[in-house]
């Protein structure tokens, strides 16, 4: 219920409603075209390799160009960058339709246009995401980020579900046309947003785009290293292991026994006020090693500084546990 309330608070904001309407529309159209181009490549070649090449051309730019696109979004007008990228995506859809209708389509051209579409979407994505903090008050920002992921996954489900019947009934052209119209709609909605200039405009850097892109990669590498290599005694503790207090305690017990050290068990949150409610709730939800924490348990962990969806805070809590010696037991 709390999550639904957060989403409701986000959608109560005018900017958010416009933004997410455009997002779900353009992403749905994008998935519709991906299914259509894959099917078209199969019809032209009957080659699994070419179908794979088309899928690769759609998705590879997001891996290769994303750091550069992010650095670019930090420097320019993000609304203009988003609109320009989405117009390119709509334009490649229009070109693809013309080639199909005139009978001049070839699989090589499909690959080239798919690559252009992937590049355009790669530049649009970080620019759109940079606008999210300006859509809602700060209190609703976690809900806005979650809703952004939700709209993408909803589009990924709806797009192929719509594209398949359309291809069976009318061929590949209608889904591609829908994609072009979807990106045009999303581009026009960007002009309706009322954004603070500090959110809309990027900040000039004294370094090159490539330098900033490399700095971003280095930052991510450092963060990953910090998560995977936390405090002494917990070196190499897997992220999956510390997703909950119970699994964290179980992993610490196992490692202590293997090392032959004296067995020490600590309260999950390190605060006696939360020990008993957390313990009883965990035991009620224990199903072997796989378990689920209910809302009350998660709130207890939040109060003690352990958030299942905030791994950095979890690692900080792990370091805090190492500095404490409560001498208490959960058994």
Distances (CA, A) of 17 to 28, 207, 230, 264: 16, 36, 40, 51
Question: Given a cut of 70, is residue 232 above it in pLDDT?
Answer: no
Distances (CA, A) of 14 to 42, 94, 129, 191: 43, 31, 17, 13
The pLDDT score that the predictor gives to residue 1 is 47
Query: Residues 59, 61, 64, 69: is their CA dihedral positive or negative?
Result: negative
The pLDDT score that the predictor gives to residue 284 is 47
User: What's the CATH superfamily of 2-211?
Assistant: MFS general substrate transporter like domains (1.20.1250.20)
Question: Given a cut of 80, is residue 261 above it in pLDDT?
Answer: no
The pLDDT score that the predictor gives to residue 253 is 60
Residue 251 pLDDT level (bands cut at 50, 70, 90): low
Q: Where in the chain is the domain with CATH 1.20.1250.20?
A: 2-211
The three-class DSSP label of residue 244 is coil
The pLDDT score that the predictor gives to residue 7 is 79
Strands (E), 45-189: none
The pLDDT score that the predictor gives to residue 299 is 43
The pLDDT score that the predictor gives to residue 307 is 40
The pLDDT score that the predictor gives to residue 217 is 81
Per-range mean pLDDT, top range of 76-85, 269-278, 290-299, 321-330: 76-85
Residue whose structure tokens are 């700095």: 215
Per-range mean pLDDT, top range of 3-7, 104-108, 326-330: 104-108
pLDDT, one tens digit per residue, over 128-177 is 999 999 999 888 888 899 899 999 999 999 999 999 999 999 999 999 99
Helices 107-131 and 48-64 cross at an angle (nearest 10°) of 30
Distances (CA, A) of 167 to 47, 72, 90, 133: 19, 37, 19, 38
As a whole number of angstroms, the distance between CA 230 and CA 36 comes to 46
What's phi and psi for 195, nearest 5 deg?
-115, 145
Q: Which residues pair with 201 in a beta bridge?
A: 77
Residue 292 pLDDT level (bands cut at 50, 70, 90): very low
The C-alpha torsion from 48 through 49 and 55 to 58, rounded to 10°, is -150
Of the listed ranges 188-192, 246-250, 297-301, the least confidently predicted one is 297-301
The three-class DSSP label of residue 180 is helix
Across the chain, what does the average pLDDT equal? 77
């Amino acid at each position: 219920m709390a999550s639904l309330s957060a989403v409701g608070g986000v959608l109560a904001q005018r900017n958010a409603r416009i933004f997410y309407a455009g997002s779900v529309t353009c992403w749905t159209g994008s998935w519709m075209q991906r299914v259509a181009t894959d099917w078209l490549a199969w019809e032209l070649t009957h080659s699994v390799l070419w179908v794979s090449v088309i899928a690769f051309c759609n998705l590879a730019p997001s891996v290769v160009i994303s750091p550069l696109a992010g650095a670019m979004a930090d420097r320019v007008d993000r609304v203009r960058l988003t609109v320009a990228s989405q117009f390119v995506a709509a334009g490649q859809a229009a070109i693809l339709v013309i080639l199909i209708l005139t009978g001049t389509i070839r699989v090589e051209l499909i690959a080239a246009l798919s690559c252009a579409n992937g590049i355009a979407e790669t530049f649009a994505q970080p620019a759109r995401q940079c606008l999210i903090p300006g859509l809602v008050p700060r209190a609703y920002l976690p809900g806005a980020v979650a809703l952004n992921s939700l709209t993408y996954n909803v589009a990924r489900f709806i797009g192929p579900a719509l594209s398949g019947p359309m291809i069976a009934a009318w061929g590949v052209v209608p889904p591609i046309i829908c994609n072009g119209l979807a990106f045009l709609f999303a581009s026009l909605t960007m002009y309706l947003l009322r954004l603070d200039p500090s959110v809309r405009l990027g900040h000039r850097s004294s370094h090159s785009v490539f330098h900033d892109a490399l700095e971003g990669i280095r930052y991510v590498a450092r963060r990953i290293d910090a998560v995977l290599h936390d405090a002494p005694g917990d070196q190499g503790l897997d992220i999956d292991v510390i997703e909950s207090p119970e699994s964290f305690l179980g992993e610490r017990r196992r490692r202590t026994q293997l090392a032959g050290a004296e067995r020490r068990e600590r309260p999950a949150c390190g605060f006696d006020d939360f020990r008993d409610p957390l313990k009883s709730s965990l035991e009620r939800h224990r199903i072997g090693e796989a378990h689920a924490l209910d809302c009350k348990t998660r709130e207890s962990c939040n109060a003690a500084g352990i958030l299942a969806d905030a791994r950095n805070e979890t690692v900080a809590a792990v370091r805090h546990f190492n500095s404490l010696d409560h001498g208490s037991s959960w058994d």
